Structure 1
Amino acid sequence: MKELEIRSWPGIPVLILVLALLALAVWGFIDGVRSGDGMQLTIALVAAIVLLVSLAGFYMVEPNQAAVLTLFGKYVGTVKEQGLRWNNPFFSAKKVSLRVRNFESGRLKVNELDGSPIEIAAVIVWKVVDSAEAVFNVDDYESFVHVQSEAAIRAMASSHPYDQHEDGQISLRSHAAEISQHLKEQLDERLTTAGVDVLEARISHLAYAPEIAQAMLQRQQANAVIAARTRIVEGAVSMVEMALEQLKAKGMVELDDERRAHMVSNLLVVLCSDRATQPVVNTGSLY
């Protein structure tokens, strides 16, 4: 069911008119009693009852709010004009907030793509864009948003790894923008039937579950050490190669294979060591 906007009467002028007519009906009733005119009494009494019933047609619409009107269970339309409004007194008005709202999901425990348990939470910013769908398509649209958001977060977390792999796959920890966009798309798909638009969805908490957090920290540290050592070795080999090429190009020292191997070994030890090396000065021959 799609939203249908209808016109409403401005409340203040209608209220003034109703009060004036009600005062006139009261005066007519009193005058009828004095004159003994039964017809005037009847007309004044009926007019007063009609005017009193019409007072039920007044309702307030605040800024960024909509009033969904129904007549004996049938949807009539939605009024978004602000202030005191008036419609048919037999209409029932249900107020729906169109303001931007946000909430943070609780910390959910989910198995990510590789099967490791993680804790994840997200902040969801949303608002109602179709009041009729929000009221009639779901039982309680606020509860619907919370439940579907939790389901979307679980589905998104289980479809991505926590850490990035060598194949460049999108991960929860290293691709925040892509993950947020993916979560927003899933939420839009789930909440569109309730007339809700998701403005933003971002992860607010992400961590390994406590039972594996220490082991995963050690694995991350090991990966970091391996990556650093790999970089150091690559740089050291390049420097040794450059040193040998420059010595050969300038003709400073002629090295046979044994001396070259000995020099390469010493340079690699110096360049790859994680501690400061202690030089040994040879005052004799090379051998």
Structure 2
Amino acid sequence: MKEKKAWFIDGFIGIVLIVALLLGAAFTFIQEFIVPAIVLVVLAALLGSGLTIVQPNQANVVIFFGRYLGSIRKSGLALTVPLTIRQKVSLRVRNFNSKKLKVNDVEGNPIEIASVIVFKVIDSAKATFDVDDYEEFVEIQSEAAIRHVATKYPYDTFDDHNITLRGNADVVSKELADELQERLNVAGVEVIEARLTHLAYSTEIASAMLQRQQAAAVLSARKKIVEGAVSMAQMAVEQLASNGTIELDEERKVNMVNNLMVAIISDRGTQPVINTGSLY
């Protein structure tokens, strides 16, 4: 199905025609022309059945004995084909807040995740005829898309090159919106925005995962500190060698590098030992 424009005219013109037919019916009835009067009344009733009111940001789907004739989007009073059913479809922007879903991330950790979906209907024919209930369809497909996207990434990691649910919310939201749009095209719905509103470890593993995060953070920090300490020690040895002020043999170089590494990497402030020379 694809939306098309239904035939209609200004509803006030229809009211004028209906009033004219009723006046004609009254006049012919006074003249004792019963059959023409009845015909005019029937015609007025048929025209009256075609009157419909379209609200702003709303579409009226016109159905004539099971056949789709088109949709009316122009707001106001309209006169369309008589004896038709007009089904109203809202074109307004809507929000859908998903429930907190418990899923497993790519590493198998159970997490709780929820999102808000902003959408609107752009094709009233698809929303009416291609799915049973497009609002329920949006709800079910949103939850399915959230589950699928959540299982593709880890909740968190200390590797800057990996995409995570917590650290790359914009990327995850963009992928969620794209996947949801593919699912909702059949219903004539446009996804305007999809954002994560809740993201956390499940209660049964939250404490353990917090300890794991702390341990991973300590290891990551230690790695950075060691890399910086090695670079600083190497730079100090090279600078002393290039200046030529102090000549160090291999043993003294090793001792100096060892002292620098201990001073930089140690958690607590180091206490220097000053060599004042021998008294004897």
* Structure-2-length-normalised TM-score: 0.91
Contact 2:14 2:47 in 1 (8 A): no
Cα distance between partner residues in 2 of 1:25 and 1:93: 28
Alignment: residue pair count: 279
Check if 1:267 corresponds to 2:245: no
Check if 1:191 corresponds to 2:184: yes
Q: What one-letter code is carried by the residue in structure 2 that aligns with 1:48?
A: V
1:42 corresponds to which of 28, 35, 43: 35
Partner of 1:6: 6
User: Which deviates more, 178-187 or 140-149?
Assistant: 178-187
Q: What one-letter code is carried by the residue in structure 1 that aligns with 2:25?
A: A
Check if 1:98 corresponds to 2:91: yes
Shift of 1:166: 4.5
Shift of 1:167: 9.0
* Structure-1-length-normalised TM-score: 0.89
Partner of 1:207: 200
Residue identity (%): 53
RMSD, matched Cα: 2.1
Partner of 2:102: 109
SS of structure 2 residue aligned to 1:210: coil
**Gap change, CA 1:232 and 1:254, over 3 Å in 2:** same
Q: What one-letter code is carried by the residue in structure 2 that aligns with 1:63?
A: P
Check if 1:156 corresponds to 2:130: no
Shift of 1:260: 2.8
Extract unaligned runs of 5+ from structure 2: none
SS of structure 2 residue aligned to 1:119: strand
SS of structure 1 residue aligned to 2:215: helix
Q: What one-letter code is carried by the residue in structure 1 that aligns with 2:126?
A: E
1:283 corresponds to which of 253, 276, 279: 276
Cα distance between partner residues in 2 of 1:9 and 1:250: 94
1:252 corresponds to which of 240, 245, 256: 245
Check if 1:144 corresponds to 2:121: no
Partner of 1:20: 20
Contact 2:14 2:51 in 1 (8 A): no
Check if 1:238 corresponds to 2:214: no
**Gap change, CA 1:167 and 1:242, over 3 Å in 2:** closer
Residues 161-186 of structure 1 show CA distances to partners (whole Å, capped at 9, x for unaligned) of 22247593432222223322221222
Cα distance between partner residues in 2 of 1:164 and 1:262: 37
Contact 2:116 2:197 in 1 (8 A): yes
SS of structure 2 residue aligned to 1:211: coil
Cα distance between partner residues in 1 of 2:160 and 2:242: 41
Cα distance between partner residues in 2 of 1:165 and 1:263: 32
Q: What one-letter code is carried by the residue in structure 1 that aligns with 2:206?
A: A
Check if 1:125 corresponds to 2:118: yes
Contact 2:102 2:110 in 1 (8 A): yes
Cα distance between partner residues in 2 of 1:4 and 1:154: 35
Partner of 1:216: 209
Cα distance between partner residues in 1 of 2:219 and 2:13: 79
Shift of 1:83: 0.5
Extract unaligned runs of 5+ from structure 1: none
2:65 corresponds to which of 56, 68, 72: 72
Shift of 1:217: 1.6
